[in-house]
Amino acid sequence: MAPPARPVWTGQIRLALVALPVKLYSALDSKEKISFNQIHEPSKQRIKYEKVAPGVGAVPNDEIVKGYEYQKGRYVLFSDEEFDALKVDSKKTLDMIQFAPADSIDPIYFDKPYYALPDGKLADEPYRVVREALKKTKTVGLGQITMRGRSYIAAVKPYEDGLTVETVHYAQELRAAKGFFDEIPTGKLDADLIDLAEELITRKKAKFDPNKFEDEYAIAIERLVKKKIERHGELVLEDQEEPSKDYGDNVVSLVDALKKSLAKKQGGAETAPAAKTATKRPKAAAEKVRAAPRAKAPAKRAKK
């Protein structure tokens, strides 16, 4: 698939004295999804929005400026020229000033990915050199990039046969996780429960394949829109999903739920998890021994 006609950024990635001219293209598919407009139902006319000022009415765009409220109802105003003068110098160089192990950056920091392509034939060799060096050292090149008047932390990564540049959040942009998790109880967990959960996870472990996941809501919306058009606007309700059941007090214990999940995966034959639950096997074996005479009784009656 050919890249889009227009790159979002053109410049160079620098590794010391090595300059690598590149063009960046968004790695995210921007194809349009179904969008809706607000409609006045009685007249079937689309709702339009006007910018109005109290006591003035509708105002033209060229009379609108940005303002910061420093006290209730009091603003300082800014012109576009002031913001233009304030913009970070839109330099066209991404200097890789640090290299970090690829697995040392928490994924929560990564934001938007871009494909970086060599810009011109002379860029091919340095591009491949930087790609292979990052692969062999298993590192990510870090620097700063300026796009659309803003400065971002940028991570240069090897990806498949090329390079990507991914913007990275600043530390102050992320909320600290500690405040969210403070009320989660601590204390010792049942080792058998962890073994059971670990067994389930191990059985379902596989390489990530994004093609196995679909946007179910988007698919349902497309189907609804199609049916609505086919039925000339008639109400469509029969395809609605059943609401989630309220289980109330009928909740299976975590142990039973995990055991049943394991048994289901084995076609109904439940197996005990390794090592730590081995002590439970003699009891099960004893129950089988006690059940054996009852199983033979019908055969004796048949002989008579």
Q: What is the pLDDT of residue 245?
A: 54
Cβ partners under 8 Å of residue 79, min gap 6? 65
Most confidently predicted of 78-82, 151-155, 228-232, 246-250: 151-155
**Co-location of 15 and 98 in the same domain:** yes
Interval 263-268 mean pLDDT:
63
Is residue 3 a part of any domain in this protein?
Answer: no
Q: What is the pLDDT of residue 33?
A: 74
Residue range of the domain that includes 257? 191-206+214-241+252-278
pLDDT tens for 34-43 read: 888 999 999 9
Angle at 144 between CA 139 and CA 150, to 5 degrees: 145
CA distance 101 to 103: 6
pLDDT tens for 188-242 read: 988 888 888 898 889 888 888 888 888 787 888 888 888 888 888 777 776 555 5
**Co-location of 122 and 13 in the same domain:** yes
3-state secondary structure (DSSP) of residue 34: coil
**Co-location of 221 and 166 in the same domain:** no
According to DSSP, the residues that pair with 40 across neighbouring strands are: 45
**Co-location of 23 and 138 in the same domain:** yes
The alpha carbon of residue 68 and the mean position of all alpha carbons in its chain are separated, in whole angstroms, by: 33
Spell out a b/e string for 232-266, using b for 16 or more CB atoms within 10 Å of the CB, else e: eeeeeeeeeeeeeeeeeeeeeeeeeebbeebeeee
Mean pLDDT of the chain: 80
pLDDT tens for 10-28 read: 999 998 888 899 999 999 8
**Co-location of 165 and 201 in the same domain:** no
The structure tokens 């497309």 sit at 222
Is residue 72 a part of any domain in this protein?
Answer: no
Statement: residue 185 has pLDDT above 50: yes
Is residue 291 a part of any domain in this protein?
Answer: no
Nearest to 64 by CA among 75, 78, 45, 43: 78
Is residue 182 a part of any domain in this protein?
Answer: no
Statement: residue 281 has pLDDT above 90: no
**Co-location of 98 and 134 in the same domain:** yes
What is the rounded radius of gyration, in angstroms, for the C-alpha atoms of the chain?
Answer: 31
- Which DSSP letter does residue 105 get? S
Is residue 294 a part of any domain in this protein?
Answer: no
**Co-location of 201 and 265 in the same domain:** yes
pLDDT above 70 coverage of the chain, percent: 76
Is residue 200 a part of any domain in this protein?
Answer: yes
Statement: residue 300 has pLDDT above 70: no
- Please give the residue that has the higher pLDDT: either 271 or 65: 65
Query: CATH number, domain at 128?
Result: 2.40.290.10
The structure tokens 């730590």 sit at 276
Q: Do residues 91 and 13 make contact, with C-beta atoms less than 8 angstroms apart?
A: no
Interval 159-169 mean pLDDT:
96
Count of C-beta atoms within a 10 Å radius of residue 129: 13
Is residue 177 a part of any domain in this protein?
Answer: no
Q: What is the pLDDT of residue 26?
A: 93
Is residue 179 a part of any domain in this protein?
Answer: no
**Co-location of 195 and 165 in the same domain:** no
**Co-location of 133 and 199 in the same domain:** no
Q: How confident is the model at residue 295 (pLDDT cuts 50, 70, 90)?
A: very low
Helix, strand and coil in the chain, % to nearest 5: 35, 25, 40
Count of C-beta atoms within a 10 Å radius of residue 92: 12
pLDDT tens for 59-117 read: 999 999 999 999 999 999 998 888 777 665 557 899 999 999 999 999 999 999 999 99
**Co-location of 151 and 201 in the same domain:** no
**Co-location of 14 and 119 in the same domain:** yes
Count of residues in the chain: 304
Most confidently predicted of 76-90, 140-154, 277-291: 140-154
The CA-based dihedral angle spanning residues 41, 45, 49, 54, taken in that order and rounded to the nearest 10 degrees = -70
Pull the structure tokens for residue 184.
């989660």
Q: Which of 88-102, 138-152, 168-182, 279-293 is least confident? A: 279-293
Q: How confident is the model at residue 301 (pLDDT cuts 50, 70, 90)?
A: very low
Task: Record the pTM.
Answer: 0.64
Cβ-in-10-Å burial (0-12, 13-18, 19+) of 94 comes to: buried
**Co-location of 126 and 274 in the same domain:** no
User: How many structural domains comprise the chain?
Assistant: 2
**β-strands 162-168, 110-118: how paired?**
antiparallel
Sign of CA dihedral 259, 262, 268, 272: negative
